[in-house]
């Protein structure tokens, strides 16, 4: 099992919406201070490496722009 984790400065509901698009990974989240601790795991047979999981965390950490309605 490979894994990566990081505390992101987003709320758990906001991250849950983004995590729905991530398939083939086990994602757990828990509130921590002003952010959310995100842990991502993948089976070694998935073909992913730790750098791939870090890239997923980087994408989750990016600010999401929403147009004004």
DSSP string for the chain:
-EEEEEEESS-HHHHHHHHTT--S-EEEEEEETTEEEEEEEE-GGGS--HHHHHHHHHHHHSPPP----
Extract the tokens encoding 32. 């921590």
Domain positions in the chain: 2-61
pLDDT, one tens digit per residue, over 4-55 is 999 998 888 888 878 877 777 898 999 888 889 999 999 888 888 999 899 9
Q: What is the pTM for the complete model shown? A: 0.79
CATH of domain 2-61: 3.30.70
Q: In angstroms, rounded to a whole number, what is the distance separating the alpha carbons of residues 52 and 48? A: 6
């Amino acid at each position: 099992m490979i894994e990566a984790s990081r505390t992101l400065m987003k709320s758990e509901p906001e991250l849950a919406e983004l995590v729905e698009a991530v398939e083939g990974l086990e994602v757990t989240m828990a509130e921590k201070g002003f952010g959310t601790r995100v842990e991502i795991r993948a089976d070694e047979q998935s073909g992913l490496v730790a750098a791939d999981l870090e890239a997923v965390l980087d994408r989750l950490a990016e600010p999401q722009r929403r147009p004004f309605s």
